Amino acid sequence: MDSKTLHFLSQLAENNNREWFQENKKLYEAAKADMEKLVGYLIAEVGKFEDLGNVQVKDCMLRIYRDVRFSKNKDPYKKNLAAGIGPGGKSSGKIDYYLQVQPGDQTFLGGGMWEVTTEQLARFRQEIDYNAQELKAIIGEKEFHAYFPEIHGDSLKTMPKGYSKDHPEIELLKRKQLFFMHRYTDKEVASKDFGDQVLKGIQLLKPFTDYMNYVLYEEAEEH
């Protein structure tokens, strides 16, 4: 990506107001176009090993404008540019490949269970209770674990109802969220091969997102 994109986002973080944004609208448009170019490249490359349907760049890009109606933080703009890449784009409701570009070494690629219904969480726990080995094999795979070493998200403090406290998969069963991410430095983001670095991450993440989409969405549709 162009280093000017990171510079714009750094300036926006320091001047998060409508007056400054309007005065620097051209810088925003250039940064947005830079992000769209990257997302377009990723859609084309991911489409070679995953059916993305007819998803377009605009379907994947998230708005930079914040919804401040229910937030104490009234900053009108996000400090990042982001996209959700997958079949149907950002609004599919299913687990996609989430890419967020933010200066200060805060850029990351991620995916997983984050905002799910009570019913979906119950399906996930039922699957873990029945056969945890499939998921453990995916997230324990050497290359995956090296790229995504840590599970992110919240867990229950006690065991969910219906499961024994001495269950061998106690930690997975407690999970309310199960999200993996890989961070990139600003230097990596500004490098010529950043798109290929993200593509590598997506390829590693795919078995996990496929598994989670099946458990949370597709399995229920089969019955």
- 46, 84 contact by CB (below 8 A): no
| pLDDT value at residue 198 | 98
Q: What is the DSSP string of 6-63?
A: HHHHHHHHHS-SHHHHHHTHHHHHHHHHHHHHHHHHHHHHHTTTS--TT--HHHHBPP
Buried b vs exposed e over 177-207: b needs ≥16 C-beta within 10 Å? ebbbbbebebeebbeeebbeebbebbbbbbb
Let me know: does 206 contact 109? Beta carbons within 8 Å. Answer: no
Give the single-character DSSP code of 81: E
**Residue 49: per-residue pLDDT:** 97
Q: Model-level pTM?
A: 0.94
Q: Please report the pLDDT score of residue 1 as a whole number.
A: 93
Query: Which pLDDT score is estimated for 218?
Result: 80
Burial letters 34-48, b for 16+ CB under 10 A, else e: bbbebbebbbebbee
Do residues 53 and 87 make contact, with C-beta atoms less than 8 angstroms apart?
yes
Q: Which amino acid is at 153?
A: G
- The pLDDT of residue 222 is 57
Please give the chain's pLDDT, 223 residues, in tens. 999 999 999 999 999 999 999 999 999 999 999 999 999 999 999 999 999 999 999 999 999 999 988 888 899 999 999 999 999 999 888 999 999 999 999 999 999 999 999 999 999 999 999 999 999 999 999 999 999 999 999 999 999 999 999 999 999 999 999 999 999 999 999 999 999 999 999 999 999 999 999 999 986 565 4
CB 125 within 8 A of CB 135: no
